[in-house]
Amino acid sequence: MPLRFRILGSGSAGNAAFLQSGDTRVLVDAGFSARRLNEMLTECGESLDRIDAIFLTHEHSDHSACLKGLARHPHIKVFANRATSVTLQRNLKYQVSWTLFETGSTFHFRDLEISSFAVPHDAQDPVGFVISHGHGDLLSPRLSLAWLTDLGHAPVHVRERIREADILVVESNYCPQLLEADTKRPWAVKQRINGRHGHLSNAAAHELISTIENPRWRHVYLTHLSRDCNSLAAVQTAIEPARALLRCEFSIVAPGGNTPFLDLH
């Protein structure tokens, strides 16, 4: 069975992706209202009624806003670590169907294997994921997705975790020059964004993907672009050397944008 993947929305206003393996349908992050997320799914022939689970990286609203409207979808299991679940549940009027995991652990949901790992970001206990499917033989090849957004820098363990993924989703959040020139954000917010527990700049994203030795990636998505402090052109310029270096497809996801389905065999 192939992995079917589509980014539903990406950027500072919200992040979510759809992943299907066989009859299993999950979301990786859900940073839009339930109504908007269902509209996004409907546009590609799916719906929240068909979603089996949501995997949350952390509690910030641009990754978790859907939870406020999930009372109408009690069948959806929500996977998160304890710190994330406690923080989110505190502000909800209904009880979420939580399934808890420990950061750094590997767990299973149906035919998916999910490995979590800590990332440096200013949230309670933020994580990245490598989500895998298949047994690694001719009949069931091993396929995997690495989901890496919201981190201020990439420690060694993060680099090792993402190296063997077939699909890499990584943030390229801001251009330092555009961030410095931005008049909407106060100095303290700018310091948070470019700090070691903030976000990856375009240059940092390029450094990450261009210095990992012998990656398995077949498709790299540059995501979570700031609408005010980044541009498609700035990302394109920053990562152009990596395009020549790596033998894989690249997609830059515009703020608020989505992607076509990618079927990985």
Q: CA of 29: how far to CAs of 18, 67, 134, 208, 252, in Å?
A: 9, 10, 22, 22, 19
Q: What is the pLDDT of residues 107-120, one digit of tens each?
A: 999 999 999 999 99
Q: CA of 200: how far to CAs of 171, 174, 253, in Å?
A: 6, 7, 15
Q: What is the pLDDT of residues 23-80, one digit of tens each?
A: 899 999 999 999 999 999 999 999 999 999 999 999 999 999 999 999 999 999 999 9
pLDDT at 244: 87
Q: What is the pLDDT of residues 231-250, one digit of tens each?
A: 999 999 999 999 989 989 99
Residue with tokens 């240059």: 203
Q: What is the pLDDT of residues 185-232, one digit of tens each?
A: 999 999 999 999 999 999 999 999 999 999 999 999 999 999 999 999
Mean predicted lDDT score pLDDT of the chain: 96
pLDDT at 190: 97
pLDDT at 138: 78
Q: What is the pLDDT of residues 135-182, one digit of tens each?
A: 888 788 899 999 999 999 999 999 999 999 999 999 999 999 999 999
pLDDT at 118: 98
pLDDT at 37: 98
Query: Is-contact 57 127, C-beta < 8 A?
Result: yes
Matching CATH number, 3-256, of 1.10.580.10, 3.30.420.40, 3.60.15.10, 3.50.50.60: 3.60.15.10
Neighbours of 99 (CB within 10 A): 15
Give residue 263's identity as a one-letter amino acid code: D
203 burial type by CB count under 10 A (0-12 exposed, 13-18 middle, 19+ buried) = middle
The mean per-residue pLDDT over the stretch 248-263 comes to 97
pLDDT at 1: 63
Residue 174, C-beta contacts closer than 8 angstroms, at least 6 positions apart: 193, 194, 199, 201, 202, 226, 229, 230
Query: Is-contact 44 68, C-beta < 8 A?
Result: no
Q: Pick the residue with more confidence: 70 or 2?
A: 70
**How far apart, in whole angstroms, are the C-alpha atoms of residue 27 and residue 41?**
10
